[in-house]
A and B are shown apart, each in its own frame.
Chain A
């Protein structure tokens, strides 16, 4: 039987003449520079806003609402990129934190004076000097509920950070760092990718254990692949360092000695100013000089960073732009935080439901409405494209079609369509040819929620 359709041609072909196949004509995804290329900082501000709000309340209903808001936005706005999957890990981490908090409350007692004793554990008698420490003993409903609220708050904080992680690649945040910090930033990001690589290695080596006829599950299997995994990770790090060096990482420009000295002076002086200013602000007697000193220090440090950037020859490729959508996303986070802080002084009872005496928490209407503002990114942020076939070899689209699109990036009027990013180049999202009728770029915000 002659093979069909596998072998386009054997002669050296010009790229671009490859045949298109059926599944290939759909738009690609990942983190489309247009698609979800909201400024990474906007996502982080939004998430930090939610986290700030979470830190101001122990009302489980509000915390649950915050988790739901973060979860919904992640569900509809995350991409298929590997880092986007970290959200689940953060969810699990949150549950673990909650469990640990409850465990401590049960076994080490709780500072909350409770009257409703649920059960009594045998108490370990402790010597005199360990006074105040208790192991075992009475477990009261109040103590448990207090621990639950407290743990839930911690878990919510973690989940908010996880949401930022899933929505914005940490590497993208690098693009916004000042030049002088870039190199250090790369090192940090490379170190952060170490963990996912390690997990992938563990998976691969565990399946290799199966090939050797050893059980691939269980703690023992995990331990035995430990050494090869670490060896592999080390080798990869060395290879990566070599590649980075060969590609010009760490090239510096010559700067006059005077500039170098000024940079050092500004940075050190600025940091000193920041320290003293902060101390002044926090200490009771320094309120007068604290703020100006802090501001002057900050200005000097920023000046140092800016000057230090001159030593770096780097240029930026398509830095993220801070557009209207970024303002909306960051603003919604800030609004949630601000409203919650305001509510904390306005209605502290509703935000910190009392545990002694034990009462059922109620949902305060206005703070809840404020939290719902955090849903704004689900509509304001650009929708991610979806990946049809990550593992397949996608051939090139005909070159002619692509060249047409090489115009400089125009400033599209923002907000014309929810899925239409204001700050990206058309190539990134617009399908290269008219034939792509199914282009997901046109899909509305509900598109992602099917995942």
Chain B
């Protein structure tokens, strides 16, 4: 269905090709997963399938890409629109019309499908993706997960034979991600659609994949094979695979929790007498963030209702909950972006009221890295950004640059912040915020778009901060991250706190928020692979 023959892509002004000598074939009706670290050319490869590379992006494509027998060299993206459906990383950039129903119909209108057929397909797609309630809503009012579903639906209505998705679940909560993946699987099985998707969150998708394409490093030839063949050698592994490697299970490696559980009997016995190293209690001290009976309204909508939260120094708190549960609103309240309708918010050692504090003063009490770290960056170069951050925070010149050097050793002073990868940009924004050394650090969806290496580095950084006495609150959908980092998990639903307790207790008792290791080893209280590795190495 998709065939790459000796394809290499070279963008203007780039030192090395974005893709080099790629040969691969994706047969019809397969769910094919594209994995690899950031910046390895995944998006370029996906773009080459839909014809956007090179017709839209420019650059030189050598070799030949054929999709359903059509050569992308001679067919423009619009002439491939009836066979390839593409959803990019940012669903918002994808929408042409302004309401859900019109958006679903847009692609079909372009293809000239008969009105009766369009009507039927729109209704079917609304049902398939659970969008019927939203059909008349303006797209601007939807939450992230809803937008992602609408974006997928808008390309599904044309019944493409190939579906190309770039990180379809990275912005979604676990439940919504499962829903999208279930839909994709149904398309593959019921309609024989070929799906090619890039995704960093392997633990969510790998069990559904028939084939995996691994781009190990920039310019290297891709490896293709089944996930069970490739994952043991992959630089990126979901926790079940890592657990299998650690326990020395014989091949094939487990891909799902079910497979792993079947093999995990002996491991559970070995681990039964051991206990995870107790999480060090945060040092005593007055709270650096205190929220009491907080309610916030957005227009007529009550975004938060009577929320209580206390954060102590050195503590890492994960805020979880489905899209639109009020996580970002809570973080925004802690930095004074919203005024509470009732209740109180106090932050920092000085216990200031955020929305009444001058920004320059607030900066030293609390810092937020927003969902889109790019919003924080204004300057043309990394060096200028750092100098500005030092000035804003009143820190000694060079403070921010030193932090950047620690988080991003490889980044040059002259690099433009917009040219950095997702992970690098996050690290830069984090450094900018940390320059003022706020005792309370807030991270909104920090792992969105990060590969495993960048995530591991983030985990290290946040742990280091916690050891220094910084408190961190992170809003995340990433259960593995929460399990690895958080002392405490707070679950929000519909603007209310429904659970607040130590990570091990909260996540294990809730299947949607449990990490894979916990599911495999339940009822034992293990959460992450490093924990187990440490315990096994310590044990005789």
Contact = CB atoms under 8 A, between A and B. Distances in A.
Contacts of B336: 210
B418 A231 contact: yes
A30 interface: yes
A15 B183 contact: yes
A211 B368 contact: yes
B9 interface: no
A21 interface: yes
B178 A10 contact: yes
A21 B494 contact: yes
Nearest to B185: A12
Contacts of B298: 391
A247 B140 contact: no
Contact of A393 (B93, B303, B322, B512): B322
A208 B371 CA distance: 11
Interface string B57-83: 100000000000000000011111110
A337 to B, nearest CB: 30
Given A205-B375, A210-B359, A318-B105, A247 B135 contact: no
Interface stretch (B141-149, B233-241, B419-427): B141-149
Contact of B136 (A4, A30, A193, A205): A30
Given A248-B107, A315-B108, A399-B127, A171 B179 contact: no
B269 interface: no
B113 A315 contact: yes
Interface in A176-221: 186, 190, 193, 204-205, 207-216
Interface string A1-44: 11111111111111110100101100011111101000000000
A313 B112 contact: yes
Range for the number of chain A residues in contact with chain B: 35 or more
Given A4-B499, A32-B136, A315-B115, A251 B56 contact: no
Interface stretch (A238-246, A342-350, A363-371): A238-246
Interface stretch (B26-34, B116-124, B270-278, B341-349): B116-124
Nearest to A385: B136
Contacts of A414: none
A314 interface: yes
Contacts of B115: 315-318
B510 A406 contact: no
B324 interface: yes
B138 A30 contact: yes
Nearest to A190: B96
Given A33-B136, A315-B113, A387-B141, A248 B78 contact: yes
B109 A314 contact: yes
A391 B143 contact: yes
Contacts of B482: none
Contacts of B267: none
Interface in A230-261: 231, 236, 239-251, 253
B494 to A, nearest CB: 7
A82 B138 contact: yes
Nearest to B55: A245
Contacts of A120: none
Nearest to A83: B98
- Best-surrounded residue of A204, A228, A392, A408 (most CB of chain B within 10 A): A392
A428 interface: yes
A197 B491 CA distance: 32
Interface in B257-280: none
A81 interface: yes
Given A2-B509, A239-B88, A396-B130, A248 B82 contact: yes
Given A15-B182, A32-B136, A251-B78, A213 B122 contact: no
A12 B178 contact: yes
B109 A316 contact: yes
Interface string B121-134: 01100111111111
A13 B324 contact: no
B110 A248 contact: yes
B136 A28 contact: yes
A432 interface: yes
A415 interface: no
A397 interface: yes
A24 B494 CA distance: 11
A3 B506 contact: yes
Interface in A319-345: none
Chain A CB count within 10 A is highest, among B90, B135, B359, for B359
A390 interface: yes
A417 B120 CA distance: 28
Interface in B294-329: 298-301, 303, 321-325
Interface in A135-192: 169, 171, 186, 190
B140 A406 contact: no
Nearest to B149: A15
Contacts of A239: 88, 90, 93-94
Interface string B419-460: 000000000000011001000000000000000000000000
B521 interface: no
Contacts of B4: none
A214 B146 CA distance: 33
B52 interface: yes
Nearest to A406: B123
A398 to B, nearest CB: 10
Nearest to B56: A242
Contacts of A29: 136-137
A426 to B, nearest CB: 12
Nearest to B338: A207
Interface in A277-307: none
A97 B77 CA distance: 46
Given A3-B498, A247-B96, A406-B123, A10 B512 contact: yes
B137 A28 contact: yes
Interface of B: 50-52, 55-57, 76-82, 84, 86, 88, 90, 92-99, 101-102, 105-116, 118-120, 122-123, 126-138, 140-143, 145-146, 154-155, 158, 174-176, 178-179, 181-183, 185, 298-301, 303, 321-325, 332, 335-337, 358-360, 362-363, 367-368, 370, 375-378, 388-389, 392-393, 418, 432-433, 436, 491, 493-494, 498-501, 505-506, 509-514
7 contacts: A2-B510, A15-B129, A29-B137, A239-B93, A245-B56, A247-B78, A316-B115
Given A1-B505, A214-B359, 20 more contacts: A6-B498, A8-B512, A10-B514, A28-B136, A83-B98, A208-B376, A212-B433, A215-B359, A228-B375, A228-B377, A246-B52, A246-B81, A247-B86, A247-B106, A317-B118, A318-B105, A393-B322, A396-B130, A402-B123, A403-B123
Report the 7 A-B pairs with minimum CB-CB distance, sorted nearest first. A396-B130, A3-B499, A213-B363, A248-B81, A7-B512, A248-B110, A317-B105
